[in-house]
Structure formats: structure tokens, C-alpha cells
Structure 1
Amino acid sequence: MAGISWHYVLKFIITGDAAVGKSSLLVRLTDQRFLANPDPTLGVEFGSKLITIPEENKIVKLQCWDTAGTESFRSITRSYYRGAAGCLLVYDVTNRTTFESCRTWLADVREHADPHLTCILVGNKVDLCASEDGDAPRRREVPAEEGERFAQEEGLLFVEASAKSGENVQEAFERAARDILAKIQQGVFGDDRSPGVKTSRPTNNNLTLDQAGSNGRCCT
């Protein structure tokens, strides 16, 4: 690699109940494709993506750890929470139980991750609420207003998304990244205060957003 092609590396975790679409969200972000029937995550899976934040004139590398949603892997996945700067807390809008579990997941993340972590609540699978492929739509069990209200109460960002269509997937990561960049500017992160935020000094002063490219690669 001839030079450093990003300004910050941000550590993200993706958490929530099993089968809410965490792995599918990660693959949609990194590979721009949909996993129709992903295998259950055993422990953690990893993916990375370069994104640009034009208004900040910054290139950011997201290092994302997709954690298993089952209790048997909880002790393993907690170790990946440590130092995370960003978190996607995911639930399935057609499964109320997964939404109710978010409070427990959030408490777990706050106990083990960086205290200044930025968390965005993501209501996934909104595509299932519409009949797009001739199938009968599923009943939505969590209204968007309820998800947004919970996010406001807990100081979270909020978005509804679809790993299948790609709706709001990259936007979720970008919103969280912008919030982290704002915290860096405020002095909350930086100066090696958090292992979840690392800075890179470009070897040439002409680093531009065009160098970021449009595609990331997923490494599992």
C-alpha cells in the first residue's frame, strides 16, 4: 500500500437477538449483496468498509464485528464490545420479542463498551411489511414511532432499514460515524483515549475523498 487512505479507523459492533439480520446488514454494507439464508453466527464475524463523510472532508474505515445473538456465545462476544466506538443495535420490526430484548443488549453494551460509544437503533426487515414478491406481507409488530421513542429515551440514534433492499443500511453506519466524528472534534475521542478510534496521518498531503473508492471487502 503506497500510502494511508483514510483519516480514522472506527470500531463498530453489531448486536441484537439471533435472526434479526445482523450478518445480512454487514454483508449488504461491505459487499452490496443480500444473504437470503445466512448461517448462524458462531462467536463473531468481521467486515470492513471505507466510507466518505464529504461535509467533514474525511475518509473513515469502519471495522465491524458482527456478534452472535445467542446466550451461549455471550461471554465471547462481550470481549469484542470493549473499546467499540460505534454500535448497531438491531431488532426485527416483525418480531416484538427482538425489540423488547434491545434493553438488555443495550445494558450489556454500555457495561462493556466505551462509555462514550455512539449507538444507533436499527429496525431491520421493513421489506417484509410490504408485498414485493407476491408473498403476503408480514404483520409489523413494532411501529416506527415506538422504536424512535425508545431511542430518544435512551439517547440513541434511530433508523429503520432493510438488508434485503439495502434501504438505509449504509446510512445507518454513516449517521453513527458522523456522530463519532463530532465527538472527536469535541475531544471525547482521540489522543489514544479509546481503542475504538484510531487516527491515520496520510503520507501525502493530497489525500482526497476520491481515494476511498465505493466498495469495501468483507473478511470472515
Structure 2
Amino acid sequence: MGRRAEEYDYLFKVVLIGDSRVGKSNLLSRFTRNEFCLESKSTIGVEFATRTLQIEGKTVKAQIWDTAGKERYRAITSAYYRAALGALLVYDVTKPTTFENVKRWLKELRDHADSNIVIMLIGNKTDLKHLRSVGPEQAQTFAETEGLSFIETSALEGVNVEKAFQTILGEIYKIVSKNMLAAVNSAASIKQGETLVVGAQDGNTKNNCCFSF
């Protein structure tokens, strides 16, 4: 008898975007495998990893996509934004250019993603204190202006990585739950004799739902 597939209540897709070498791959590996690789190579195209966690008693499978930051891969990665429920926009606190380019990445994201996508700005590599050139106040001001949440992380030391992913997944969950509640409430207005079906039904397993706003 075959092994049963992993069960989960929700599947949330989140993309990591930003310039090359800002630490996106190590943020991904730190969150999904609790690993850090000093010799990590630049991502080619798109890679992804998953982690299952509990949010308010529900099993959520987070599917995190790591997109390449180099220009020659931009056409490949832009298509992946459309199905994402959340995005982590990453820059390197030691490289001002990567912070300046956040505006360009944000525009590209908003051009291709759903208007309700949850976006978090992340300043990575805070362990390199002696090389810092982008202060948290500057980034916080930008984030507030653009309506983004903001946090600084160190993938090397594992500082705030868990918090960043938990926060954005929690925000996505709140939106999805609100949308589901609205759908259930709308069922009350359906005239007697009609049926409202939300998701596929299977008597043997939980509903495995992938949501899009």
C-alpha cells in the first residue's frame, strides 16, 4: 500500500526577490533546513523549497521560491510572481546599490503580481556590522511609504529569519481566512436548494488548498 501524501490545510507560495548575492538562497535554506552555506552559488532561474508549520491550529505548507537576481534571468522569473501570495524583498545592508534597486524590484513585482500580495522588506547580513552602509531608519521610512512591513535579518546567525517568514505567512493566513469567511457568509444568501462548494471534497484526506487572492 502506497504512502499517504503529506496532508495540509493550506498551501502558500512566497517568492524571494532582490539583487544577486544579497543572501536570498541562505534565507531560504536557513528557514526550510536550518542550514547556511558560505560558498553558496548564485541561483540560476528559480529554485524552491518547502516547510510545513502550524498557524492558529491549521497546517500550512509554505512553498518558498528563490528567484535569480541576475538580469539575464529576469524574463524567466517574472512569470512566477503571478501565483505568489507573498514576497520577501531582500537587500544587503552592506551594499547601498542593492537597497537602491529595491524600488525597481518593487515595481516589477507590482506589475506582475496580484495587487493584494503581502510584501515584506528585508535587510539581510546584519552580522557584518563593521560594513553596514544602509541604516534601519532609512529602510523603515521607505517601507512605511510603500506600505511594506520591514525587518532586518542575518541568515548566517539565524537572527530574525524565523520571525520574518512566520510574520509574512501569518499575514497571508489572516487574508485567506477573511476571504473564506466572506465566502461562507455569502452562502447564506443563496436560495434554498442550491449548494455552494468551496474546494474539493475527499472523504479520506483533508482538503489541500492552494489559495490565490
TM-score above 0.5: yes
Displacement of 1:82: 1.3
- Give the Cα–Cα distance (whole angstroms) in 1 for the partners of residues 181 and 75 of structure 2: 26
Please tell me whether the aligned partners of residues 30 and 49 of structure 1 are also in contact (alpha carbons under 8 angstroms): yes
Hey, what does 2:139 align to over in structure 1?
A: 147
Hey, what does 1:64 align to over in structure 2?
A: 64
Question: TM-score, length-normalised on structure 2?
Answer: 0.82
Hey, what does 1:22 align to over in structure 2?
A: 24
Q: How does 1:110-189 map to 2 (within 5 A)?
A: 110-129=110-129, 137-138=130-131, 140-187=132-179
- Give the Cα–Cα distance (whole angstroms) in 1 for the partners of residues 143 and 116 of structure 2: 16
Q: Which moved more, 1:13-22 or 1:144-153?
A: 144-153
Q: How does 1:90-129 map to 2 (within 5 A)?
A: 90-129=90-129
- Give the Cα–Cα distance (whole angstroms) in 2 for the partners of residues 189 and 105 of structure 1: 33
Structure 2 regions of 5+ residues with no counterpart? 184-198, 207-213
The number of aligned residues is 189
Question: TM-score, length-normalised on structure 1?
Answer: 0.79
Structure 1 regions of 5+ residues with no counterpart? 130-136, 192-197, 206-220
Displacement of 1:199: 9.1
The runs of at least 4 aligned residues of structure 1 exceeding 6 Å deviation read: 188-191, 198-202
- Give the Cα–Cα distance (whole angstroms) in 2 for the partners of residues 83 and 180 of structure 1: 13
2:38 alignment partner, SS class: coil
Larger Rg: 2
2:47 alignment partner, SS class: strand
Please tell me whether the aligned partners of residues 16 and 89 of structure 1 are also in contact (alpha carbons under 8 angstroms): yes
Cα deviations across residues 176-211 of structure 1 (Å, max 9, x unaligned)? 1111111112218997xxxxxx99989568xxxxxx
1:82 alignment partner, SS class: helix
Summarize the Cα distance change of 1:189–1:174 in structure 2 as closer, same or farther, 3 Å threshold. Answer: farther
Cα deviations across residues 71-91 of structure 1 (Å, max 9, x unaligned)? 111000101111100101000
1:66 alignment partner, SS class: strand
Displacement of 1:4: 4.9
